Structure 1
Amino acid sequence: MTHDLPQPLIDAAALRRRLDAGRPTVLVDCSFDLADRDAGRRAHAEARLPGAQYLHLETDLSGPQHDAEGRFRGRHPLPDRASLAARLAAIGVAPGMAVVAYDRSGGPFAARAWWLLRWLGHAPVAVLDGGLAAWTAAGGAVEAGPAPVPAPATAWPPSPEPALPVIEADALQRALGRVTLVDARAAERWRGEVEPLDAVAGHIPGAQNRFYGLNLDGDGRFLPPQALRAAWQPLMQPGEPVVHQCGSGVTACHNLLAQAAAGLGDGVLYPGSWSEWSADPARPVARGQPCRQRGG
């Protein structure tokens, strides 16, 4: 289905024009704080784009941490696809409906929603560049109080197969050395100097480090496409898929969005990321700065 939504990013001025023109759009607030799981919901009640619905990282945009056999899948595994589609329908997302996601943290949680909708096969979705701060800076109105009750859409099935590629831990371990692997965590976590969230410090052998915050300018907006392209192309190897990971599969989506915004296509997500990988003592771990990173 064709649509008129700019992708993968929409700036605040363009979103205001879209809403003022009455173009149907579901706004989704994905604000979250890893240190306070209820902070995003509180912030949503205090100030949000008019009509925006709230999606919680852990209860809406992630699945159970353990599978049916009790195996740990990481801190923020992918949700069940049918359950996510039903949740989206409940907040008014119908097939072909434009969706704009935003947050208050430079885009990582909104990028997670952007990636998940596309994974379901829902194409018209974008991230509000700069989030709530950019919206208010552009003169956009906000509302507060109890969230509006959405008009639910008819339940819709996700695409029969995931529309974006993922790779699981065993397959990734077999592919090491034959894929370009990029870790979105802060450099000190990648080097293994600190690890505030997971039991083991370090990184997956062969992973390059590209902290997701480097995708943004000083105002919290994504760098222009040409600047993103200049930053990302040296990390890539001809003929190799680019696999993105982070701590738990969330900020990796920010790098996936940056790759798409740079015009470099879609990468592959390793959903379990370091939290899953490091929980298995049989998997290899690297620490420190290698003598030479691939790609320069």
Structure 2
Amino acid sequence: MPNTQTTTPLIAAEDLRQALSRADQDWLLIDCRFNLGNTAAGETAYAQGHVAGALYVHLDRDLSGPKTGTNGRHPLPAPEAFERTVQSWGIQPGTRVVAYDDAGGMFAARLWWLLRWAGFEQVQVLDGGWQSWLAAQGPVDTRAAARPPCAFKIQPRASWVLRAEQVLANLGQPDRQLLIDARAADRFRGENETMDPVGGHIPGARNRFFQLNLQPDGRFKPADQLKAEFEALLAASPVDTVVHQCGSGVTACHNLLAMAQAGLPVTRLYAGSWSEWCADPSRPVER
């Protein structure tokens, strides 16, 4: 059965440091550092120093499925493949998972969402990431960590994910779908597009750049501020119509995390996002 004991979406570095020092809980720390322009950079950074005991996971290898050219830049892993990955991490039903990166949660949020989609609730993102851990003087190590594998079974929540054809069918139906695009405003407008071959956005989408969820120090804004900002973005639209997307389904998870931190209900993800959408020239584009 899915783990039903819920935790807050974020954990502060000092709170994590103190919790680890008590050793009364099975904690799994996961380093998600990554660089879209240099896909080896995260592993290099991990080897140079990471939260003591943390495993390293790679966005392309561990948190994404194979690319076909039409399913986006970071397609979701197949459930059976992700289950094998989770088992290799040694997650048990009582394990507490904390993911971190050095990009304001940009990549850690993807792992947070994947585990929750897989039915595992006790997962958090380290607020402020690697930088906050260093500031809290948390223990650091350069040795690669490992845990014995387990037989943990995932239970994916299929209703949390929409496919391209579902998004297309719901266009122009505000009572069924409100798309929130997490990309930067210029890419949303179709300007300065360097990641995908076509610029623009899915018709009717609203823009919420994921970095707007953060304070200048890289930590998330207070929950009440996030709640007010998302409610203003939704205006009169019901929360249950929200569908998150971005360029490839990664930073959309940051907005999902921010809404969860704000205490708002679970919403859906169009995982293929713009990179999948624009791969089919028959799909409409707005600029």
- Structures share a fold, TM > 0.5? yes
Which residue matches 2:162?
Answer: 167
Q: Which moved more, 1:171-180 or 1:273-282?
A: 171-180
Give the CA deviation at 1:238: 2.4
Query: Contact 1:96–1:122 (CA<8 Å) still a contact in 2?
Result: no
For the 8 Å contact 2:239–2:265, the answer to whether it is kept is: no
Shift of residue 265, structure 1, vs aligned partner: 1.3
- Return the alpha-carbon distance in structure 1 between the equivalents of residues 113 and 159 of structure 2: 8
Structure 1 Cα separation of the partners of residues 70 and 79 of structure 2: 19
Equivalences for residues 64-103 of structure 1 within 5 A: 64-66=66-68, 72-103=70-101
The AA in structure 2 aligned to 1:182 is I
Runs of 4+ that moved beyond 3 A: none
User: Which residue number corresponds to residue 48 of structure 1?
Assistant: 50
Shift of the alpha carbon at 1:184? 0.3
C-alpha separation in 1, matches of 2:93 and 2:243: 28
Extract unaligned runs of 5+ from structure 1: 288-296
How far apart are 1:148 and its partner, in Å?
2.0
CA contact under 8 A between 1:102 and 1:128: conserved in structure 2? yes
What is aligned with 2:243? 243
The answer to whether the Cα contact below 8 Å between 1:82 and 1:157 also exists between their aligned partners in 2 is no
The CA distance in 2 between the partners of 1:219 and 1:164, in whole Å, is 35
Instruction: State the alpha-carbon separation in 1 of the partners of residues 44 and 103 from structure 2.
Output: 15
Instruction: State the partner residue of 2:12.
Output: 11
| Identical aligned residues as a percent | 51
Q: How many pairs were matched up? A: 279
Number of the residue aligned with 1:150:
147
RMSD: 1.4
Q: In the alignment, what sits opposite 1:291?
A: none
Q: Given the alignment of the two structures, is residue 280 of structure 1 paired with residue 280 of structure 2, yes or no?
A: yes
Q: Classify 1:10/1:202 alpha carbon distance in 2 versus 1 (closer, same or farther; 3 Å).
A: same
Query: Gaps spanning 5+ residues in structure 2: where?
Result: none
- CA distance in 1 between counterparts of 2:74 and 2:87 reads 22
TM-score by length of 1: 0.91
Does the residue aligned with 1:26 lie in a helix, a strand or coil?
strand
Residue 163 of structure 1 deviates from its aligned partner by 6.1
**Which AA in structure 2 matches 1:41?**
E
1:259 aligns with 2:256: no
- Which residue of structure 2 lines up, in the alignment, with residue 228 of structure 1? 226
**Post-superposition CA distance 1:194-248 (Å, at most 9, x none):** 1111000000000111000000001100000001011100122126511000000
Map Cα deviations across residues 166-204 of structure 1 (whole Å, 9 max, x no partner). Answer: 111111011123211100000000000111110000000
What residue in structure 1 maps to residue 132 of structure 2? 134
Partner Cα separation in structure 2 for residue 184 and residue 105 of structure 1: 15
* Letter in structure 2 aligned against 1:89: Q
SS in 1 for 2:244: strand
